[in-house]
Structure 1
Amino acid sequence: PSMAELDAEADALGLDLGARVTLIASDGSVLGDSAEDGAGLAAMENHGSRPEIVAARENGIGVTRRFSTTVERDFLYVALPVEHPAVAFARLALPLTVIDEQLASVRRATGIGILLALAGALILAWVTSTAMSRRVAAIAAVARRYSEGDLSRPLRGYGDDEIGTVARALDASVHELGRRLDELSRSRALTDAILSSMAEGVLVVDNRGQVRMANDTVRTMLGFETSPVGRHYVELIRHPDIAGQITAALDHGEASRREVTLNTDPPLVLLAGTAALEPAEGDGGRQGAAVVLHDMSKFRQAEQVRQDFVANVSHELRTPLTAVRAAVDALIDGAGKADNRQFLGIIDRHTSRMDRLVSDLLRLARLDAGQETLSVVTFPVDALFEAVESELLPLIEERRIRVTRRIAPLAAEITADQAKLHDVVKNLLENAIRYAPADSRIVIGTEPQDHAVLLTVRDRGPGIPSAELKRVFERFYRVEQSRSRDPGGTGLGLAIVKHLVGLHGGVVTAANRPRSGAVFTVRLPQPERPEHPEPITEQAPADAAADADAVEPEASSLA
């Protein structure tokens, strides 16, 4: 191609590339230049010695920065060898000002991009950290609730990242902890229920002597007014024997059983058993000690009653037997005919007393064995009282006692075993007659009370010492001399009364009257009846109106 064509080609490339394009022959002559044409192109110097051309010839590419004398400007030159029949090298030239502008533009774009990327990263980091902080805060809040014992609200929305893994692990651990706590709570509730229902007192102390557990029974036995848990056993237990047993168990692992008596009212007899709580394998020293207290008071009281019973039976049998033996000896010694009648009377009286004693003992034995049964009927009280008074009339006349009946209309009938209630009234009335002073009055009566009938017997005797009121129903129990038994009694009547009343589901109590005398009250449960209130009627001998007791208000006694 001609130089004109090559120059045109250089011009076209210069326009396309936006740079100065120079086409150079192998000898360094300029064949075309996008910045020169015609005479200017012909006047251009040989470029074979230009640094970029030399470098391109030697290295395959030449790059240099220098001042162009042709256009009098600083340029960046890049030369490359080309495969062309006429052109050996192609050179591009850009003014440094253009490059600087482009670099500045690139820097601005890069800076803006970096700023935008940084802003985006900050926003993303803030959003991510905020979401993460919320999740961590939620986990921390739930963990705080867990630490306070609230296991009812598990975590939600775990996620699949590390925090989610931690949350799931925490939730699973708490779920298992809650299950075990529920089991422990149920086990503790069961243990508390068992301990609360035990008749024995149970006290547990740790290895430092502090009380860890005490059931209600032991609190009552030892008189703890407040909860003993957390306090040292030495400051709580006043009895030295029990405290000493605990000390021996803690210090030496000694197990012991000892009967102790507490100075209470009434005295409390306890069988105290202590044992050391040995640790599980590998847990070190003793864990503490346990004390179990058995209330032996009733057993000791029953034992005392049995001993008294044997002694009293022996005495009650020996006394009449001694009299009988003396009378028999007198008869053998040949006493006179008149004396024989007296001695035979003594024998008859005391053998009759022994017969009554044996009969009463046999009846008590049947009552104790549950061999007595009830035949319940409804009958008028007045007829019952009449029958009892008729049976005891000789004794009433002998002691010159006036018996007055006070029967409330709502208690004019009683539903009970008539024969057994007859024995109850007979024993109570006979007891009152024997202890009441001569020429005094005894009042027997009934009154209604809350689906029950109160049957009362009141006398004007010496009364009963307050300390002995609870014991008058014991077999052969003796009160003070002022109310000692008449020889005609067996000492078992009130015990029989208590058993017969109890057989009806009732109770019998004794109390002293305000000024003098005693009152025995029997409370018998009754079926419901329609109420028709009427005044209480009083039946008494004709001369009872003149008795000062006739106008005295009577005090009821009910346990």
Structure 2
Amino acid sequence: MTGFEVCDILGALTDAVLVADGTGQIVAVNPAAERLLGWPDGELVGRPLGDVVPLDAAAARPEALGRLLRGRARRRDGTEAEVELTLSTARADDGAELTVAVLREPELGPRPEVGRYLRATVRAAARLGAGLRPEEVLQAAAESLVADFDAVLARGWLYEPGSATLMLWADAAPAPTSGGESPAPIDPAAYLEKIGEVARSRQPFVRNGLEGEPLIDQGWVTREGIAAAAVFPLVSGDELRGVLALFRRRPLSEEAIEALQALAAIVTVTLGGVRPPVDGSEAEAQRRRLQTVLEVMPVGVLVVEGPEGRLMLANPAAEQIVGGPIAAASIEEFAERFTLSHLDGRSALPDERPLLRALRRGEYVRDRMRYHHPDGAEIILEMATTPLPDRAGAVATFRDITPQVRMETDRAERAAQLKALLDHLPVGVAYLDEQGVCRACNGAANRLLGRHRQELIGAPIEELLGASTELREAVARCLHDREAQDVEAIPWPPSVSNDGEPARYLDWRLVPLAAEPNRPRGALTLILDVTERTRARLALQRAKEAAEQASRNKTQFLSAVSHDLRTPVNALSLQAELLACLVAEQDNPSGELTMLVADLQQAAANLIELLNDLLDLARFDSGQIEHHPSDFALETWLSQTLAPLEVMAHAKGLQFSWRVDQPGRVVRADRIKLGRVLTNLAGNAVKFTERGAVEVTAGAGPDGALVLAVRDTGPGIPADQLERIFDEFAQLRNPERDRTKGTGLGLAICRRLVESVGGRLMVASRPGAGSTFTAILPPDHLPDVALPAPATCDGSTRPDTAPGAAILLVEDDPHSRRSLARLLQHAGFAVEPAPDGPSALEALERGRPALVLLDLMMPGMDGAEVLRRIRAHPSRHDVPVVVLSGDVIGERSRELIALNVNGMIAKPVDFDELLGVVNRYLAASQAAG
């Protein structure tokens, strides 16, 4: 090859070239490959190509030959480098098949620092000419380190094999100038241990930041401001030639380190060469091998020589790429035949062409340009040019990257489409890196967070999330624990609007990104506007709280009204009872007086029934009805409940009967409320039936349910009125029934009582044929809190009393207190009345009663406080206490049970019931005492 050797051309190529034989062993490399992969000169030869080049299954297929591939090459130190790879095959002169791999770092645009250090290396190589003594080689290298690599101290040692010692032969430092870099004191003791270690290990030492390096004096590093050091062993084959070292006050860039490695290799070659001398035949064989490599390289190679840039070499790949033969011509003629333009469409001026820039300016150029193919097509070329050392010439390599550019363009278009799609999503999307810094976001995120994209990108988590501790903790858990996090209805931003509510409520979903190679790490954040939903939920919650408060207010009102209504009615009922007792004691009372007393008692009973109905209806509306179940014998309960009604029926001349289908059956239910249902149904039957009979039956349903049925022979109910028979205040129009009108509440309350335990109340009737009311109740209704059943009397007549027993009566209403005290005294008890709580406690101090009858709602100290003090007293804590009140529902009942109350009787008080309770507790007390 005229004017140039193939090894010169391959050595000047910026692309890494590796050649492997048929067994896959590397047989030749150029210096660019050694620099890229970090292997000392000659050590790559003999290694498997697959150890350093990514030859995966895709790259090994035949269709991969000649195509541009991407992968990761393995360096000597174990790290990996992103490379673009092109493979081709060729045959040597002896017929052996060769594989040629061309590698290039996928970086775009010129790298000025690489060019600077490349030119520095060329200048150093020029100074290391033939005929120099070893010490002169080292001195020239040291001076180059100072002049071209900004060393403040450079030194070189030669190894003496005989004495196995290092001898200092080179020393260089910058000359002191005003304002320039001052040399560092030599001070050999500061670093000689590190020089010796590098010589022994034969491994280079290159480091930015020498803090903590044990073999270099830290005091010297601090005093002189040493920021970087590079120490290279000069090894040729297995023989140590010497050591070259430099120290700088600025860090070393990657480009500087690569150039220093190249310079160290040049010094090593100059000192002895990396290969032993070869005879002419071997040199010719090597030249032909490299010639073959150049010809089969899939990368186009052009070589120009001389000041005019005479085209001296174009390999087959170059002619294939440009679409025709390239005859020897000047570079200007070549430019006229093969036109180039910039990527933006502008024509490339002569001085802008990469090859001319390398030839005439000595620049290292790497660029992309458009080439207009002779067949009319337009392709994209990636070009790299460099001047040849020691000659007036330059080398250019280029390849067709049109498919790659199209792929990149498609990728950019898809990225733009994806960005447009993300920007139009109603959901905010943001990417947070591993430190929680926002690196990307869509338009919805900007809108929802109320900030411009420029304010969000690069914002740390503290600034991005503001005062939301909950959000910051969720982000920290997502990034640290790599678990998805959901944070709901976060007020945003921290400031509130005029109406006291945040401008928005946002749901946040944080998803950790997979920790895979070449994939972003951090968290993907999804932000959803839930303002309307959250405000509706909060409004519903506020409405619920308001309704609950209204219910509590209604309960308090009901309690107060219940007490205020029952108190005067209680006094009226007790006075009527007392009047009846007084009249009965007369020897010959007048008939008119007896009738008036009976009418008064009946009116009081009607008033009590109406009051109970109204209050029960109010309790149902406020949800205050509670059930207190207990176990009782069904037959005994029927006998006691129906006894008064049986007397009423016989007085009207009606037949009255009742039966139990299962004698001896025990049921579990609220006997008081169940009694109200049965009394109301049977009472209506007696009230509205003028002739005939009333029959009550108690049986069992197919599932064990309790079935109560009341049949009568009364006037019946028209079919058009059956639908509203259970409505509140419903009064049926029937001449036969109009004789005895009611309030229209009884059946409505019965239905609610039955349905409140999961039962059903039904009616069957025909006009003139009577009616049948049927209540079906579940076999076992278990309440949330089992309350003791209110006390009842076990008979329809007054029980025997215990004369002389002391009873403390605590009642604030004077009318009720006087009437009840007279009745109890008339029954034979010793009664001490007390108008309030303090008076009751004083009476207890004077003596212990057999029983305390205690009003619950009193001014000042109420009945619950009196009971609490009684139970807390050491000597009277076990006195029986029965509460009298019109308010023994809900929380008040639970409070009394917690205070160990013995019994509760609702006002208005039924005196017969009261006597039964008093006698029962007195009998129990006497039995225990």
- TM interval, short-chain normalised: 0.3 to 0.5
Using CA pairs below 8 Å that are at least 6 residues apart, which structure has the higher relative contact order?
1
More helix by share: 1
* TM-score, structure 1 as length reference: 0.39
* TM-score, structure 2 as length reference: 0.25
